């Protein structure tokens, strides 16, 4: 399985939550970096770090998949979840 096939697989519930937090951090960092003249330099530097951390968390959590051979529904640590057929973020028909 290559990287792009892996991205199309369903993502577990916990990692979808972390992915969404990462996207929020990225958008927060970008919005702060959009107005560099109005804020002091340490805030701008911190916004860059927050943006990078959010992007890394988003990409890593998107690449995590649930392997049906390794888990059973009653042993999932975050409760049973409904797994969609395809990842809705990567569905071009949506």
pLDDT tens digits, 11-45: 888 988 999 999 999 999 999 999 878 889 899 99
Q: Around 75, how many Cα atoms within 13 Å sit in the side-chain half-sphere? A: 7
**What Cα–Cα distance (Å) separates residue 40 from each residue in 28, 36, 37, 54, 55?**
16, 8, 8, 21, 23
- pTM to 2 decimals? 0.64
Please tell me what DSSP assigns to residue 78.
T
Please tell me what DSSP assigns to residue 64.
-
Distance CA 74, CA 72 (A): 6
Better-predicted residue by pLDDT, 28 or 2? 28
pLDDT band at 81 (very low <50, low <70, confident <90, very high): low
């Amino acid at each position: 399985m290559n990287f792009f096939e892996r991205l199309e697989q369903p993502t577990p519930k916990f990692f979808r939550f972390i992915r969404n937090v990462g996207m929020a951090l990225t958008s927060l960092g970008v919005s702060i970096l959009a107005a560099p003249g109005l804020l002091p330099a340490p805030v701008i530097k911190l916004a860059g770090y927050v943006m990078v951390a959010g992007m890394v968390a988003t990409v890593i959590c998107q690449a995590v998949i649930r392997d049906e051979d390794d888990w059973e529904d009653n042993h999932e640590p975050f409760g049973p979840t409904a797994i969609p057929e395809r990842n809705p973020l990567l569905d071009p028909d949506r």
